[in-house]
């Protein structure tokens, strides 16, 4: 993706600013992925940047409030403006009350963490989660998560509904990272698997996203029949396998409730 961007920048005479923005975002992502913060040298090494460039980007992010320098630990962490970005994304992805209630019912009926995923432009993203201390969500599956669709049950539902060209573009961009030994990381094998998901209207993943954790998902359809979302649950694998049919009933009922809630929402002219 970098080469086309650089080409546009050169034509517009703005290669410097665009490159700096891209690098700053990468710095922010690296810091966000580190629970304990990172030193400037660690960030520079991770991104293959010169140390002076790294300091320049860090100072710009600090001035904007997205990064803070924790001087006592000599590391850089997320600033408080990053929290507002997360809150804003949650507001933008907010689901209708009826949908939230339906996902809450899945959480209760399946006795499992429950998820609702949608298309957001070219991404598959989690829009709502219902869990509890007893049944916590699989980390890092939270509102706004949009990675590893090939390794999650809700992601497989959404990928299986894509046309061939759209699916190819998505996989070209996202890749097929092997998150665990069970992850389907071969493109042909994944396409065969998605064909089965498409036919059965059900997706399973057994330890593909996280070892010891498994998920199940079913589609939510619009009146014309197209897939617009998916409802999913996650459980420890041993329990998932022992309760598989009970959980499937709860997830399928939840998708039916979501479909009805979306229809009511649309009839009321709120979309």
pLDDT tens column, 189-234 = 999 999 999 999 999 999 999 999 999 999 999 888 899 999 999 9
Higher model confidence: residue 263 or residue 171? 171
Average pLDDT of the residues of the chain: 86
2-84 is classed CATH 1.10.10.10: yes
217 DSSP β-pair partners: 203, 232
Residue 23 has pLDDT above 90, yes or no: no
Residue 269 has pLDDT above 70, yes or no: no
Tens digits of residue pLDDT in 136-168: 999 889 888 889 999 999 999 999 999 999 999
What is the pLDDT at residue 21? 79
18 confidence band (pLDDT: 50, 70, 90): low
Question: How far apart are alpha carbons 220 and 203 in whole angstroms?
Answer: 13
Q: Which of 178, 180, 202, 207 is nearest to 254 (CA)?
A: 202
What is the pLDDT at residue 16? 55
Lowest mean pLDDT among 26-30, 122-126, 154-158: 26-30
DSSP E strand stretches across 73-201: 75-78, 113-120, 123-130
Q: Measuring CA to CA, how many Å separate 13 from each of 3, 5, 10, 19, 63?
A: 15, 12, 5, 12, 26
Is 51 within 8 Å of 44 (Cβ atoms)? yes
Quote the radius of gyration of the chain (alpha carbons, Å).
21
Please state the length of the chain. 271
Global pTM reads: 0.71
Is 128 within 8 Å of 95 (Cβ atoms)? yes
Residue 75 has pLDDT above 50, yes or no: yes
Q: In what order do the strands lie in the sheet with 113-120?
A: 123-130, 113-120, 227-236, 213-221, 203-206
Question: Where is 247: in which H helix or E strand?
Answer: helix 244-267
Is 231 within 8 Å of 218 (Cβ atoms)? yes
Residue 37 has pLDDT above 50, yes or no: yes
Question: How far apart are alpha carbons 168 and 157 in whole angstroms?
Answer: 15
Tell me the domain boundaries of the chain.
Answer: 2-84, 95-267
What is the pLDDT at residue 93? 58
40-47 and 51-63 are packed helices; what angle lies between their axes, rounded to 10 degrees? 110
**Structural tokens at position 208:** 């593909």
Question: Residue with structure tokens 């706004």?
Answer: 144
Q: Measuring CA to CA, how many Å separate 58 from each of 45, 75, 183, 190?
A: 14, 11, 35, 40
Question: How far apart are alpha carbons 86 and 147 in whole angstroms?
Answer: 16
Query: Within 13 A of 12's CA, how many CA atoms are on the CB side?
Result: 12
The CATH number of domain 95-267, selected from 2.60.40.2240, 1.10.3720.10, 3.20.20.70, 3.30.450.40: 3.30.450.40
270 confidence band (pLDDT: 50, 70, 90): low
15-32 and 51-63 are packed helices; what angle lies between their axes, rounded to 10 degrees? 80
């Amino acid at each position: 993706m970098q080469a086309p961007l650089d080409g546009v920048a050169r034509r517009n005479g703005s290669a410097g600013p665009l490159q700096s923005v891209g690098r700053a975002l990468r710095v922010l992502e690296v810091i966000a992925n580190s629970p304990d913060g990172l030193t400037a040298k660690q960030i520079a090494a991770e991104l293959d940047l010169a140390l002076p460039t790294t300091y320049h980007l860090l100072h710009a992010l600090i001035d904007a409030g997205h990064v803070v320098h924790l001087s006592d630990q000599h590391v850089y962490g997320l600033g408080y403006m990053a929290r507002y970005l997360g809150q804003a994304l949650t507001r933008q992805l907010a689901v209708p009350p009826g949908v939230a209630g339906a996902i809450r019912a899945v959480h209760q009926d399946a006795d499992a963490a429950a998820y609702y995923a949608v298309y957001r432009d070219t991404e598959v993203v989690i829009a709502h989660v219902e869990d509890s201390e007893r049944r916590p969500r699989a980390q890092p599956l939270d509102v706004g998560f949009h990675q590893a669709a090939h390794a999650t049950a809700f992601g497989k539902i959404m990928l299986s509904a894509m046309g061939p060209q759209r699916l190819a573009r998505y996989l070209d961009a996202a890749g097929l990272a092997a998150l665990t030994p069970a992850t389907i990381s071969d493109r042909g094998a994944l396409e065969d698997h998605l064909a089965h998901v498409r036919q059965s209207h059900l997706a399973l993943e057994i330890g593909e996203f996280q070892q010891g954790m498994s998920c199940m998902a079913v589609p939510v359809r619009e009146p014309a029949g197209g897939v617009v979302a998916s409802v999913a649950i996650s459980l420890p694998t041993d329990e998932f396998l022992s309760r598989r049919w009970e959980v499937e009933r709860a997830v399928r009922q939840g998708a039916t409730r979501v479909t009805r809630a979306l229809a009511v929402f649309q009839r009321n002219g709120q979309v």
